[in-house]
Structure 1
């Protein structure tokens, strides 16, 4: 019956909806990690698309093989033109299976910059970035092309969109289920996901310990230097004023260096 109705109305059978590939996960945490990775990748690709050729290229003038972009009538956006041309060149090299060498990307950048300067300098002197900045630009462009899964011609993402289960996993992180999941994560501090979460905290604590140790050594060294130069120990109040620290901090520094200050009030001269 459905086929007869379609024949009478002249409609064709609709194309089957594209189904997302389902991936089996061994645990809920693995699903959440995959969803977070997909979200991070989508954000990265959205940022990369800003530097890829897009519909705005149609408004740019194609001059000597370079699409020159304009910031104002008669005034070319030299840096943007050069960077986009270098990015398009890197995409073309990768499509052709050729190595994306720094020299090729930099040459494309310099050529596009000079074309933009020639047709839209608007009285400005050439301000080509230094060699170090151009090398950094080449590495940045190569990283965009290698890391991003986008099409240089259409600017479309080739990655699969987020699955329903992945969206639910991400939503779980922001609700009460996220608290329960976090409790399960820290139930066993030895598991890899808990150890990975502890790494930044360990580094921060290690940095604070080293900073505190350096501060104690500095204060103790100041006491010893002052005694060697003046012949008398400075007071704790002097150290507090000198380094803008608290009294317990000065005492800990003295104790760590095994320095004992004389007791009693300092004698004052009239």
Structure 2
């Protein structure tokens, strides 16, 4: 896998997640993050979370931004109170429990990944948050100023990552969840993670990708998977892809699909997602052509093409 050029970002980034907090893409990403963190906490050893694009920690769903574009209504709003099978309820439990803890009454606040990490992590665990946007970094500093487990750094998480691994705990998770402002975002993601994986091949890595450009996402997934298996000696079961789309991916308008690539997924995560994803696809659908996929980053067609070559 050819190493792409390092990203060049301006600190004045435009993306504001408050407009999208709690939408279908957040539901998928955060439910999976909560499951991974819950698994890490099942062992009596400390772990570290490294979040390369942390945002502001949590989002006010009563704010002007959220009210202007209330995507959460068709995301987490549909999940809360919905009838669900027992296996789906079990898969969503870590995620829904922390939402209930944050919102003892009506849903007014939605957690970003830093808040999910902070609420699930134990006193012995540590959380490293990187945020390049200056105002957002200050917001994070204020939010977690009294939490000794959390360290906030105003820096480019891509550039910081290699120096942050392996953590002294030797256990943990890296979340790479960029704003996708740059058309080459997936190349930047690969450039950041490849040296980190070489230094810390046993950590759990979660990469969030939009599926606005399915070809680009598949190219990233396939390239990373092939590199891990053929050059780094990873077993195929150490790579898991979980994607969801709420309408035809070719449809115009707002984002229709998103999901994650997971390196070193926790035990039983695939089984839980096999129950969860079909239910989420039906519950969150906003049009024809909705669906989901859960695989190892290479489809049967990819394998057949590789064999043919």
Larger Rg: 1
**Is TM more than 0.5 here?**
no
* TM superposition score category, shorter chain reference: under 0.3
TM-score using structure 1 length: 0.20
The structure, 1 or 2, with the larger RCO (C-alpha pairs under 8 Å, 6+ apart) is 2
Structure showing the higher strand proportion among its residues:
2
Q: TM-score, normalised by structure 2?
A: 0.18
